[in-house]
Copies of this chain bind each other. A is one copy, B any other.
Amino acid sequence: MNVRYDTIPSLQAFLDALPEAVRSTRIDPVPPRNHNDWSALMPEAPAALFCPRTTEDIAVLLRAANTHRISVVPQGGLTGLCGGARPVSSGIALSLEKMVGIEEIDPASATITVLAGTPLEVVQNAAAEAGLYFPLDLGARGSCTIGGNASTNAGGNRVIRYGLMRDLVLGLEAVLSNGTVIDATTKLIKNNTGYDLRQLFLGSEGTLGIITRLVLRLQPAPGCTHAALCGMGDYASVLRLLDGARRKLGPTLSAFEVMWPDYWQIACDVPGVRSPLTQQHVFRVLIEAQGTNEAIDSARFTTFLEEMFDDGVLEDAVLSQSLSDIKTFWGVRDACSEFKVTLGPHLAYDVGLPTRQADEFAKACAAAITQAVPGGKSVFYGHVADGNLHLLAWLPGAKYQPAKAFDTAVYSTVREFGGSVSAEHGIGTTKKPYLEHSRTAQEIALMRLIKTALDPNGILNPGKVIDL
């Protein structure tokens, strides 16, 4: 499967230019897992794989790659869904998997300093052991790396409370395409000394530099968590519940997950998933608050829901009485991870819409899907409070899903609503054709200008996010 060197004339020259200590970080043959990320693209073996252990090694690799015009695809936990870490046979893959470790926890500054290849779950656990909390969380926590989370500006369920990865990074170290090391590993929240270089590397999917080290902001561990599953008759009630939650739960509000009716039905059909709501409703919302004190915050949560019920916003609600209840509630929301089994092949989308228009969009998008693919079905759910809607589309019983038709229907509707074709998954290669549905020609031209300035030879993750 590995490509022979003679297909890339300069690869041998590149290898010869490396000092032995760096050349020895090569893994040959390339393990199959490094041939792809979690996208549905065909696997492709890189011409070579390197797993360096230090920033200095990465600097040497990039300097040589830049000189010899060798493409470099950075890899973390390979859990991305858009092909951002999929290697190319005409270049090398540079995996951060050996750059693992917690370097420091500073309780006074509430920071943790970590190497980029460290798995997210290891960071979460290290913070917890110090009595603190790293709030980023997503399903792939055991496999994804913190550097990958940073490069893709990962989101997750608790963005309304704690922000995206972009908001959790105080400082970072990154290596530019020419091997220059940018050491911006500050712990400072307030640091107005010139341009914020962090932001160039956060969310740019490894196309502007390779993140090697991160200083992350930690939070106090939540003292208690409360959740409820709410049933409502219309989207106006969902918006009233959200408004109430913002006001009455204030900054303790940590999740607000909306499930449209078709989603609910399919989720409850997943084996092991139990619906705590017994009546029929149009919308179901999972609402969660993280407080500091069980007695105080439990009363606040209960009072809030009683008020919403008395005001006619809720048709019904079930409150968590235990951690086990909270797990059951999230079980319905997370049932989508089992849909591959119960639903069969389907396409998953991750789009952004202004909160007010999410239901209007869902209706328009469902209609567009049915029109584009007769018999096509769709379900909607998501983190609506931060404008992030997930949707699934499929043609029941079809051997091949009409992906292109679904894509066109979904992304055209997104464009009509002024939404985002990728709320949290990124662009990679799979969403690149639709980038211009969400960004203007002027924005894309400015992205190209920045890419060209930072990586004039285009060696860093070429073909990802934008084309030159």
Contacts and interface: CB of A to CB of B under 8 A. Distances in A.
Interface in A157-202: 159-161, 163-164, 166-167, 176, 180-184, 186-197, 199-200, 202
Contacts of A166: 196
A300 B186 CA distance: 33
Nearest to A164: B190
Given A190-B424, A195-B446, A296-B300, 6 more contacts: A109-B356, A192-B203, A194-B444, A194-B447, A223-B247, A450-B453
A183 B442 contact: yes
Given A184-B443, A446-B182, A453-B453, A191 B247 contact: no
A119 to B, nearest CB: 21
Contacts of A353: 188
Interface residues of A, number: 98
A24 B155 CA distance: 48
Interface stretch (A42-50, A248-256, A272-280, A333-341): A248-256
Interface in A426-468: 426-427, 431, 435, 438-440, 442-447, 449-450, 452-454, 465-466
A258 to B, nearest CB: 12
A159 B189 contact: yes
Given A222-B250, A250-B292, A438 B110 contact: no
Contacts of A190: 155, 159, 164, 352, 383, 386-388, 420, 423-424
Contacts of A184: 439-440, 443
A108 interface: yes
B109 A191 contact: no
A348 interface: no
Nearest to A254: B251
A246 B220 CA distance: 6
A427 B422 CA distance: 35
A318 B183 CA distance: 44
A188 B356 contact: no
B423 A192 contact: yes
Nearest to A244: B220
19 contacts: A108-B355, A108-B356, A155-B192, A159-B190, A180-B445, A181-B442, A182-B443, A189-B387, A190-B423, A190-B424, A191-B352, A194-B465, A195-B200, A196-B199, A196-B202, A200-B450, A251-B252, A449-B454, A450-B450
Residue in A189, A191, A192, A446 whose Cβ sees the most chain B Cβ within 10 Å: A192
